[in-house]
């Protein structure tokens, strides 16, 4: 059975004080669960915040320095988002996986710049796309030379300030890429609190259990030592104290799901 991928970390790089407790927990879990490929994730810039007054981050240089420390001191793989083509090269000098935000998933120049680095690329499927439309994203990356490609499901727009997950998307997209399920952004309420996004954290764990049962190559989740004090996406982040339980439960479900993965009915 190939390794399952867990991409986790605080939404934004707030400070080393916030980052390192999460990274250290992932390191601990990586030693306890060698069957899992752990990737630490946090963003140096949140470029699509609801309000001009919202915390965006401390910028590229600070963010990459923190991620480099995580990588060197703890031996973890790391990932972060890029929003502009020029960011691909400097980010690729640090990260193992380049992430493309959902709102930018069709930006051809950004995808080609990410592919050109030779790094693995994870693209968040836009809230506005059907799963089969993600194949064109994969083809752009392949044209640019990317070999290791992930597509992440993170819900689709459904009415005002709400998202819904169609789990049919996971087997559909698995035909042309490795598929990650984003459990925490799928329960986000975009702009739901006026000048910031809300979230329904209580549904993140049920949805990730469902996604693993349906079949996916990994789970993405944002986690924070104290989500109520997080400077970005606090309402949908998993409390760090619950992370180990959540991951172990997911792995138990996966063990059964893999057994029946290729069984066709109907």
Tokens of 73: 């001191």
* CA–CA dist 212, 228 (Å, integer): 27
* CA–CA dist 159, 164 (Å, integer): 9
Domains of the chain: 4-259 (3.20.20.70)
* CA–CA dist 221, 157 (Å, integer): 19
pLDDT value of residue 116: 98
- The phi and psi torsions of 133 (rounded to 5 degrees) equal -70, -20
Per-residue pLDDT of the chain (266 residues; tens, 9 = 90+): 589 999 999 999 999 999 999 999 999 999 999 999 999 999 999 988 888 988 999 999 999 999 999 999 999 999 999 999 999 999 999 999 999 999 999 999 999 999 999 999 999 999 999 999 999 999 999 999 999 999 999 999 998 889 999 999 999 999 999 999 999 999 999 886 777 788 899 999 999 999 999 999 999 999 999 999 999 999 999 999 999 999 999 999 999 999 888 776 77
Task: Please answer whether residues 64 and 49 qualify as being in contact, where contact means their C-beta atoms are separated by less than 8 angstroms.
Answer: no
* CA–CA dist 20, 248 (Å, integer): 21
* Predicted structure pTM score: 0.96
* CA–CA dist 192, 67 (Å, integer): 30
pLDDT value of residue 1: 59
pLDDT value of residue 142: 98
């Amino acid at each position: 059975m190939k390794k399952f991928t867990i991409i986790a970390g605080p939404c934004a790089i707030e400070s080393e004080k916030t980052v390192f407790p999460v990274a250290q927990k992932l390191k601990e879990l990586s030693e306890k669960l060698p069957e899992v490929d752990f990737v630490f994730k946090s963003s140096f810039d949140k470029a699509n915040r609801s309000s001009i007054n919202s915390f965006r981050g401390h910028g590229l240089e600070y963010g990459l320095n923190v991620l480099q420390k995580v990588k060197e001191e703890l031996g973890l793989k790391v990932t972060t988002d890029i929003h502009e083509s020029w960011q691909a090269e400097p980010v690729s000098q640090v990260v193992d996986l380049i992430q493309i935000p959902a709102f930018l998933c069709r930006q051809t120049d950004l995808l080609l710049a990410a592919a050109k680095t030779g790094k693995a690329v994870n693209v968040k499927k836009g809230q506005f796309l059907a799963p089969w439309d993600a194949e064109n994203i994969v083809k752009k990356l392949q044209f640019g030379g990317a070999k290791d490609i992930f597509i992440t499901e993170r819900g689709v727009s459904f009415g005002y300030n709400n998202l819904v997950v169609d789990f049919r998307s996971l087997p559909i997209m698995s035909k042309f890429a490795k598929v990650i399920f984003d459990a925490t952004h799928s329960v986000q309420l975009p702009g739901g609190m006026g000048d910031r996004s809300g979230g329904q954290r209580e549904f993140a764990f049920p949805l990730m259990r469902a996604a693993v049962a349906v079949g996916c190559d990994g789970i993405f989740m944002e986690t924070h030592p104290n989500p109520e004090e997080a400077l970005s996406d606090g309402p949908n982040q998993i409390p760090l104290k619950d992370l180990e339980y959540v991951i172990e439960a997911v792995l138990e479900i996966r063990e059964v799901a893999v057994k029946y993965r290729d069984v066709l009915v109907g």
